Amino acid sequence: MIATKRAVLLLLFLTTVACGRNERMDALYAQRCIGCHGQTGNGDGPLARSLPVPPPDFRETVERKTNSQIRRAIAEGRGTMPAFSPALRPSEISDMLQMVRFLSREGRETRWWEKFDTLVVAHCSLPWETILGYEEPIEESKR
């Protein structure tokens, strides 16, 4: 009985405190993506017209992609999109992946499984960069 109550409380906590779109994601998107993909991810950014191939509308493409496919496209680039792995840390690429997912849901009906994404990504408040060793190593001064 106590375990059931704890599970219910944990579920309530995760659904109310789960991570979502945040200022860090918005700032990264504004710096790296908005020029081509536009404010809402529709592919209508100010630079989009000058590209040989228009950027995709996230609402039409992202739901068919896995997280690995999106992460690879961000990290390695695709078509006219540059690779961001040299400029972004793995944790920032993860933020961009979530941002793309958030933008892909705006203005369209979400699928039933997408409503549970906040539970899936609720662990984001943990310092995963440290846990997984993504942080830049601190250089020791040479003697």
* CATH for 123: 1.10.760.10
pTM: 0.66
Q: How many domains does the chain have?
A: 1
How do residues 115-126 score in pLDDT, each as one tens digit? 666 555 555 555
How do residues 1-26 score in pLDDT, each as one tens digit? 676 666 555 554 444 444 567 888 89
CA atoms within 13 A on the CB side of 53: 7
How do residues 87-124 score in pLDDT, each as one tens digit? 999 889 988 998 998 888 877 776 665 666 655 555 55
Torsion, Cα of 29, 93, 24, 136 (10° steps):
-140
Range of the domain at 39: 19-131
Whole-number Cα distances in Å, 57 to 22, 73, 109, 128: 21, 15, 15, 30
